[in-house]
Amino acid sequence: MSDCLFCKISRGEIPSERVYEDDKVFVIKDINPQAPVHLLVIPHAHIESLNDLSEEYGALMAHIMGLLPKLAKEQGLDTGFRTIINTGRGGGQVIFHLHVHLLGGGQLPGF
Ligand code: 5GP
Ligand code: ZN
């Protein structure tokens, strides 16, 4: 997707502070952090949202789920962390390229 922000960041066309990268995903710091640690875990593949997942992405999603606690540990989030996936406009999604928010540091407020 040529005009997608996260595709552009994936391809290196827009600079970003990468915390982690492999062949499936990359991880950047959110530009507008909502907690002391706020990372975005983003697949290189352009998938618009959870609504667009299919069986073929099962291994990718398992990879992301396994990566989240490792990233949290690396970031020193020893007492816990929060993960959020916004889906669709009504769910607060602004960038229509699937991503998982990883938040933590201090004590996050409850819902
Ligand atoms: P959404 O609301 O789609 O779940 O989350 C999009 C997130 O991307 C927001 O938290 C926003 O701050 C972040 N964001 C938007 N543009 C950029 C950018 O250019 N660079 C980075 N690192 N984060 C961005
Ligand atoms: Zn994209």
**Which residue, chain included where needed, has tokens 């990359």?**
26
Average pLDDT over residues 83-104: 98
Q: 10 Å Cβ neighbour count for 110? A: 4
- Residue extents of the structural domains in the chain: 5-104
Residue 40 near residue 99, CB atoms below 8 Å: yes
> Contact, 32 vs 101, CB < 8 A?
no
Say whether 97 is catalytic. no
Arithmetic mean of pLDDT over the chain = 96
pLDDT tens figures, 32-43: 999 999 999 999
Q: Residue 10: CB within 6 Å of ligand 1? A: no
Distance between Cα 54 and ligand 1 center (Å): 24
Ligand nearest to the Cα of 32, by number = 1
**Cβ of residue 100 lying under 6 Å from some atom of ligand 1:** no
Residue 111 — pLDDT band, cuts 50, 70, 90? Answer: confident
Does the Cβ of 32 fall within 6 Å of ligand 1? yes
Q: How confident is the model at residue 17 (pLDDT cuts 50, 70, 90)?
A: confident
Pocket test for ligand 1, best of 7, 26, 95, 103 (most atoms within 8 A of CB): 95
The CATH architecture that domain 5-104 belongs to is 2-Layer Sandwich (3.30)
